[in-house]
């Protein structure tokens, strides 16, 4: 997509995200309906579904050719990434949303024939929007973000998935021990923005496509490496051990992990 068309698209998406924030903020004064998905700590709320439905409605009106890959309501599989593909996580960090009413975000990525055009991660409670891609550059609100600082693993902090680290899956404790320290927020989007800002040297988790699509576009634009935990391309299908880091930290992490656990 040409730069002018992408600029128009970003203006529209920013409007959608602000309107989605209004839906979320109104929910805090109401009773939120909570349901289990796969386990007692894998939850979905009526607000997740409402925000997703709202975003899909806006996307379809703006881009009638759009294909949707999203977390909720039967939109979580696509047979192909051909054409216009929008990837939606309506509320990333649902447990935080339910229990803290904080530390969650909305994520949206736009792809054409599998190529990331622009991603958005909106931290709702701080009103901080990360957006951009290879044509536009990457921004926090309207401030451009610098290129990847390429921090060595020993000199930086790592964001981590709590279960992977706690159970030492893929020998990830060796990775954490080699870093300056680890941080766990319970929200993939927030940890990805911390990598974007250079606050984390990398992020190791176990993610679905809607958890990483938006961040992948922006991170790669800034020079970060984004792959599965073994250096292979992300499949955009199912749940995948995930790694995003600067080139040096990425290579060091790959040397320490194992595909057996």
Instruction: Give the pLDDT of residue 73.
Output: 66
Q: Report the candidate in 189, 173, 131, 130 with the shortest Cα–Cα distance to residue 10.
A: 131
Ranges of the chain whose pLDDT falls below 50: 261
Q: How far apart are CA 173 and CA 176, in angstroms?
A: 5
Instruction: Give the pLDDT of residue 240.
Output: 96
C-beta atoms surrounding 190 within 10 Å: 21
Q: Where are the domains of the chain?
A: 3-144, 153-256
Q: Of all helices (H) and strands (E), which one includes residue 18?
A: helix 3-27
Instruction: Give the pLDDT of residue 233.
Output: 97
Chosen CATH of 153-256 out of 3.40.190.80, 3.40.430.10, 1.10.1200.10, 3.40.50.300: 3.40.190.80
Cα–Cα separations (whole angstroms), residue 8 to 13, 15, 128, 140, 165: 9, 11, 20, 18, 41
Instruction: Give the pLDDT of residue 205.
Output: 97
C-beta atoms surrounding 122 within 10 Å: 26
Q: What is the pLDDT of residues 52-62, one digit of tens each?
A: 999 999 999 99
Task: Determine whether domain 3-144 maps to CATH 3.40.50.300.
Answer: no
pTM of the full structure: 0.94
User: In the structure encoding, which two tokens stand for residue 6, read together?
Assistant: 């992408």
Q: What is the pLDDT of residues 71-116, one digit of tens each?
A: 876 677 888 899 999 999 999 998 888 888 899 999 999 999 999 9
Number of H helices, E strands in the chain: 8, 14
Instruction: Give the pLDDT of residue 260.
Output: 53
């Amino acid at each position: 997509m040409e730069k002018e068309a992408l600029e128009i698209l970003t203006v529209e998406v920013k409007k959608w995200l602000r309107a989605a924030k209004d839906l979320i903020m109104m929910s805090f004064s109401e009773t939120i309906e909570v349901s289990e998905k796969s386990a007692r700590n894998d939850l979905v709320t009526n607000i997740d579904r409402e925000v997703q439905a709202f975003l899909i409605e806006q996307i379809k009106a703006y881009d009638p050719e759009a294909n949707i890959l999203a977390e909720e309501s039967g939109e979580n599989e696509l047979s192909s990434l051909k054409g216009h593909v929008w990837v939606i996580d309506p509320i990333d960090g649902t447990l935080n949303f339910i229990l803290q009413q904080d530390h969650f975000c909305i994520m949206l990525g736009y792809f054409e024939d599998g190529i990331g055009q622009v991603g958005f991660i909106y931290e709702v409670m701080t009103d901080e929007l990360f957006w951009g891609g290879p044509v536009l550059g990457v921004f926090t609100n309207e401030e451009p973000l610098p290129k990847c600082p390429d921090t060595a693993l020993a000199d930086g902090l790592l964001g981590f998935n709590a279960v992977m680290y706690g159970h030492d899956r893929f020998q990830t404790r060796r990775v954490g021990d080699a870093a300056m320290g680890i941080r766990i927020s319970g929200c993939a989007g927030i940890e990805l923005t911390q990598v974007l800002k250079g606050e984390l040297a990398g992020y190791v988790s176990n993610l679905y496509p809607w958890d990483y699509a938006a961040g992948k576009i922006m991170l790669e634009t800034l020079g970060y490496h984004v792959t599965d935990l073994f250096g292979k391309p992300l499949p955009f299908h199912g749940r995948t051990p995930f790694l995003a880091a600067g080139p040096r930290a990425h290579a060091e992490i790959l040397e320490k992990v194992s595909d057996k656990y």
